[in-house]
Structures are given as structure tokens and as C-alpha cells.
Structure 1
Amino acid sequence: MSVPNTPKVAKLAQEVHQINGFLRQQTFEGMAFDGLFRGFNQGDYPDFDWNKGGRLYAVGDGYQGLDKVEKRPLIRFNGHETVEVDIRASHLTIFHALMGAPLPGNGDPYDTGEIGRDGIKLFCAITLGAGKLPSRWSSTAGKDYRKAYDKQIARGKQPAPGTTGRLAQDYPFKTVRDIALRHIPLLKSVEGSGHTWADFQFLESQVLIQAMKSLIEEGVTTLPLHDSLICPRIYSENVSECLVRCFEDIVGVKCYIKIK
């Protein structure tokens, strides 16, 4: 679709120009940086108003395409080692906020105490992404799970005790579904709620962009990873507080943060 010349589009573009202008003055090691762009989705939908998707992407994939275990930890901003400040269960938290329901659990809704959190997290991601409850594990989910499992072993990391790399065996679908719906019952309302992954991504992107702009005023360099910000370790607490504040401003609820 062609990009209209409207005040709203001009404001969205100016935000990206502002962020890129600051970032191009910084020094990066362990990565290439050719700028960021904002990609919107569902432009042909009747209710599209530059409010679907909207994530910031690195031009040419760049640092976002680096291996998160072997490559991204080597990134340096202005000579400083970096960490990732992650919004935990971002889309699940946003969905609960849009539905006016409190997020279950105490910091980690995927930790049910009944089964490994990876199975619950995967079930939630598939449900929110598809906009309805799945009826089984897809072959793609099984392949992705096996790939991640094999990567752990190749890196010398110990997978979760008792796991085999076979999704259906490690996390039997019916068991995971029953536990997930018992602990996170709002998942039953995803279909027909009127809220989709594109809405979750938009609000999430608004949070990250507001946080990045606020941190620029403090001279703090950050780069987006969809639901997290890479930042110098020395500023991780500042970035955490800023993300929580911006999330509450835009979404209306507090979020939980993990520094990794």
C-alpha cells in the first residue's frame, strides 16, 4: 500500500528519525547497525489506522538476527557490555489488560508449579498468535522445539530434567492445555475477543518506542528486540524502571521485567 502524507504518518516517521539520529551517533561492537524501520501489518483491514503491528526492525536484519546465546551477548554499546531487559509475558499481559482482567501468577504466569513453564509458554504463544485455542501441537511447533533442544545440547547446556526433545512426549498436549486453562482461564476468551496479535504488537511497540525516546533524553542507548531492549549493563536498572513506567502509561497495568 502507498504511504499517505498525513500528520499521523509524519509523527510516526519523525519518531523513527529521532531514534535513528541518536543511534547513529553511538559506537557499536559485535554487530552492524544500518538503522531501524517500523513495519506495520494488516494495512488492508477496515479498522487499520496505523495501529496494527508497528514493531521496530533492524535494516538488513542486523543485530536482531544474531544468535541470542553466542552472538548477542558480545554486543557492546560505546564500549560497555550489554544485557537484555525483557518484558515478561508481554502479549499475555497486554491481552489481560485489554480484557480488564488481572494477570494470574506472581511475576511469571507460565510457572504453574505443575509442569515445565516452556510448555505453558508455547501453548500461550500459539493461542494468542492464532487467535483461538489450538487442538494439538503442530508439526512446526514440534520441529521448533526439537531445534531449540538440540541447540542447548550443542552448546553444552543441560536441558530441563526429564525432557527428550520430543514435544509431544515432554509436554503432552492435553495435559498442557488443561493446566494452562486452569491457571490462565482468560485464554478461553481469545477467540471472539476482538483482540489479535497485531493489536498486542502495536501496544508493545508503542511501549518500547516511548521508553527509547525517554532514555535518549537521559543519554542512554538502547536497541529494540520486539519485547525487550538491549542496553548497557550499567543502565539496566534505569531501563527496567523506564519500561515499567511506559508500559503502565500505555497499557494501563504494570509489567514484570527480567534482566538477562
Structure 2
Amino acid sequence: MAHPVIVRGKRQFWDQEDKGKKLPIIKTDPAYIAAAEQVNRINAYMAPQQITGCKHDGFIRIFNHGDQDGFAYNMGGRLYSKASGVSYQNMEKHHRHDMRINGEPVVELDIRASFLTILYAQRGIAPDPSIDPYTFGLIPRAVIKAWIAMTLGYDRFHSNWSDETVEKLGGEGIDLRKEYPIDIVRAAVIDEHPILHGWPNSTVRWQNLQYLESSAIIDAVEVLGLRHGITALPLHDALLVQRSNIDTASEILADTFREHIGVVPVFKIKDRWPEKRK
């Protein structure tokens, strides 16, 4: 691929439309060369694989905050699927019923509470498989997960629920603004996870967490493909793999996560896709 890596600047607005300004790249930078070569190796392996039931025309890796001090291809950095249409990463979940890798149905290997796990790992705390970090008290799991996701994608505590989150949970029968005021949810989550108390003043931000996560994911994709002949499609904090390969994929992703983050995450395996919302 001619342009396997893209660098974007810091977002100016906190919404999904603002991706950050695309920045020029110095292609002699060793960090750029290493990132681009890895993406090209992955794309070369993927090219002859039969991926059906979705759109996928190769990967690009997008780094963020390229105009900020300290940028060294170490912020953001997820793999994004290029597609002539809606890619497998952006398709509605119920359509994954139809996805096949080399003729076999896919399952999703999901990292539970990925960003939160990385935050705890930086304090030397490994996740407890018996404890769901999103389940405690009387607040629904989906509400707690939504607050943590909103917070770790921002640089301070939100004063209101986002319209997108309200709409999403409204589809699950939850009236966020009426039933779960954000200040009450914030207090409950911080009481359970004191590590989040100082988030507004933290030197760690979403782009740092995402870089660590993406490095583990991308290395796993490369190792699975080039060393084991197993096709794994990255889904940000998860992998889509053939059902018959789930054990090997779990083992390799555990290894790469440990290498980059220092702990083994808790995995969830999803093979029952939701029905289309009516």
C-alpha cells in the first residue's frame, strides 16, 4: 500500500466528526518506517485470504496528536480497515452473522475493559478474572461502561451525558438523563475505581492508552498471520478470528498484551451476534 500510515493532529472539537487535521509525514523517520513496514507485512498476508460477508480492502494505521510535544508515533495508532463501502469495523453487529474467514464463521475475542485494564496495569495491578469492573451497586452495567468510556476518551469529567450515549442506551430502554444523572454515576464509579479520581489532571490520555492497546493488537495480528497462518481482523479492542482458532488467538493476544502492558487481560468470547434493532 502506498500510504499505510496516516498522522493526524489533535482534535479541536470533542465530537465524532472531528478526526484531527491530516499532517505531512517525514518518510525517513525510523519510527514511521517501522510502522509502515509492519502494516504492509500484514496487508501482504491478508491479500489472498478469503474474507466474505463484509467489506475490507486492506489496513491503514492512524496515529493521533502528531502536532503535540512528545509525538514519536506513540499516540493512537489503531489499524483501520479501508473499504469501498462500509467496512467490517463499521458494519452493524448483527451483520457479523454473515462474516466468514476462509469459509469459516467468525467469533470475537474481546479484551474486557481494555483502557481501564491498562490504567490499572500502570499501577502494577492485574485484572481479577472473577470481578467484572463494570458491575457493582445498583447502576446498570451498560451505564457504568458508558461513563468510563466517555471519561477515558476525554480530558476531564463530562458535565452531561453525550447525545450519542443517550441515544444508544435509550435503544436499550435506559433513560440516562432522567434515571441516572451523570454526577451520581461519576461518584459511584470513582468510589469503586479510585484510580479515576484524578483523571482530569492525569498525564495519561486516551491517545496513550490507545497506543499501548493498538500495539498489542497489531503485534498479535502479525504473529497470528505470519507465524501461525491464522487470519485475525482487528476490531479496535478485539479480534475477529475463525472459531477453530480461538485458543491460539487468545494465547498470542495474551502474550502481546503482557509484552506491551505488563499484564494478561481478561477475554470475553462473543459468538452470538445481536439481532437487528427494530
TM range (shorter): 0.7 to 0.9
Deviation at 1:2, TM superposition (A): 1.9
Q: Give the stretch that moved more between structures: 107-116 or 205-214.
A: 107-116
| Residue 89 of structure 2: aligned partner | 64
Structure with greater proportional helix content: 1
Residues 104, 183 of structure 1: 8 Å contact kept: no
Contact 2:31 2:72 in 1 (8 A): no
Alpha-carbon distance, 1:7 to partner: 2.1
**What TM-score, normalized to structure 2?**
0.82
Who is 1:28 aligned against? 51
1:38 aligns with 2:45: no
Q: Distance in 1 between matches of 2:35 and 2:248?
A: 25
The structure, 1 or 2, with the larger RCO (C-alpha pairs under 8 Å, 6+ apart) is 1
Return closer, same or farther for 1:48/1:109 CA change in 2, 3 Å cut-off.
Answer: same
Establish whether residue 127 from structure 1 lines up as the match of residue 151 from structure 2. yes
Please, which of 202, 206, 229 is the counterpart of residue 215 of structure 2? 206
Q: Among residues 243, 252, 255, which one is paired with 1:242 in the alignment? A: 252
CA deviations 1:9-37 (Å, max 9, x no partner) are 11111100110011111111101221000
| Larger deviation, residues 115-124 vs 131-140 | 131-140
Q: Which residue of 1 aligns with 2:177?
A: 168
Mapped to 1, the partners of 2:262 and 2:104 lie a distance apart of 33
Percent identity between matched residues is 36
Q: Following TM superposition, by how much is the alpha carbon of 1:101 offset from its aligned partner in structure 2, in angstroms?
A: 4.4
Equivalent of residue 78 in structure 1, options 102, 105, 108: 102
**Higher mean Cα deviation, 108-117 or 72-81?**
108-117
One-letter code aligned to 1:116:
P
Residue by residue over 1:53-110, the C-alpha shift from the partner in whole angstroms, topping out at 9 and shown as x without a partner, is 00000113521121112x1231100111101100010011112222444557834200
| TM-score, normalising length: structure 1 | 0.88
Kindly indicate whether residue 124 of structure 2 is the aligned counterpart of residue 88 of structure 1: no
Shift of 1:113: 4.2
* Cα drift, residue 191 of structure 1: 1.9
Alpha-carbon distance in 2 for matches of 1:238, 1:20: 21
1:120-159 CA-partner distances (Å, limit 9, x unpaired): 111111111112222332334323322xx1xxxxxxxxx5
Does 2:31 correspond to 1:2? no
SS in 2 for 1:19: helix
Is the contact made by 1:133 and 1:187 (CA closer than 8 Å) also made in structure 2? no
Which amino acid is 2:165 matched to? Answer: A
CA contact 2:127–2:266 (8 Å) conserved in 1 = no
* Aligned-partner residue type, residue 177 of structure 1: R
Do structure 1's residue 143 and structure 2's residue 167 form an aligned pair? yes
**Which amino acid is the alignment partner of residue 79 of structure 2?**
L
